[in-house]
C-alpha cells in the first residue's frame, strides 16, 4: 500500500500534515472506500508549566468530618456540587494551604470541581 501526503502551514505557524493511504488490491480497501485519513498537526506552542499544576494539588482528608484542606500550587476556583448537580459552594483557593469549613454539609458524597483558566479537575469527596 502506498500513501499520499499533503502539508500546509496555517496562519498561526502550525504545520498540518494529512496522510491518506492509497489503495490497493488483495482485499485491502482504498482510502476512499474506507474513509481513512490521518491528520497530524505540529504546533509551535510551548507547554505551559501550569498545565501540570492541577496534578500537584493536594486535597485532604477524604473522607472529612468538618474541615477539608486544599494545598494548591496555584490560585483556583472551587465549586462544590451535591450528587444531584446542585452547586452548594463557590470559593477562591489561594496558593498554599486552604482550610475550608464544610460543617454545613450533610453526610454524603460531593463533587469538588477545581477550575484554573480553561482547565478543570473534579474529585469525589466524602463527608462522614
Could you state, in order of their start, the residue ranges of all structural domains in the chain? Answer: 2-42, 49-127
pLDDT attached to residue 117 = 81
Query: What value does the mean pLDDT take over residues 108-125?
Result: 90
Mean residue pLDDT of the chain comes to: 76
> What is the pTM assigned to this prediction?
0.60
Contact 89, 104 (CB under 8 A): no
Could you read off the pLDDT of 49-105 as tens digits, one per residue? 545 667 788 999 999 999 999 999 989 999 999 999 999 999 999 999 999 999 999
Higher model confidence: residue 109 or residue 45? 109
- Over residues 103-115, mean pLDDT: 94
Q: How far apart (Å, rounded) are the C-alpha atoms in residues 33 and 55?
A: 43
pLDDT band at residue 14 under the 50/70/90 scheme: low
Confirm or reject CATH 3.40.50.150 for domain 49-127, answering yes or no: no
For residue 1, pLDDT beyond 70: no
Helix or strand or coil: residue 29?
coil
Amino acid at each position: 500500500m502506498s500513501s499520499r501526503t499533503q502539508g500546509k502551514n496555517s496562519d498561526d505557524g502550525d504545520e498540518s500534515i494529512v496522510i491518506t493511504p492509497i489503495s490497493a488490491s488483495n482485499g485491502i480497501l482504498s482510502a476512499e472506500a474506507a474513509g481513512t485519513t490521518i491528520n497530524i498537526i505540529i504546533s509551535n506552542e510551548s507547554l505551559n508549566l501550569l498545565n501540570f499544576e492541577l496534578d500537584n494539588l493536594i486535597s485532604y482528608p477524604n473522607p472529612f468530618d468538618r474541615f477539608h484542606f486544599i494545598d494548591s500550587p496555584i490560585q483556583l476556583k472551587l465549586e462544590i456540587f451535591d450528587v444531584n448537580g446542585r452547586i452548594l459552594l463557590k470559593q477562591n483557593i489561594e496558593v498554599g494551604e486552604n482550610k475550608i469549613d464544610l460543617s454545613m454539609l450533610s453526610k454524603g458524597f460531593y463533587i469538588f470541581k477545581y477550575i484554573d483558566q480553561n482547565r478543570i479537575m473534579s474529585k469525589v469527596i466524602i463527608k462522614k
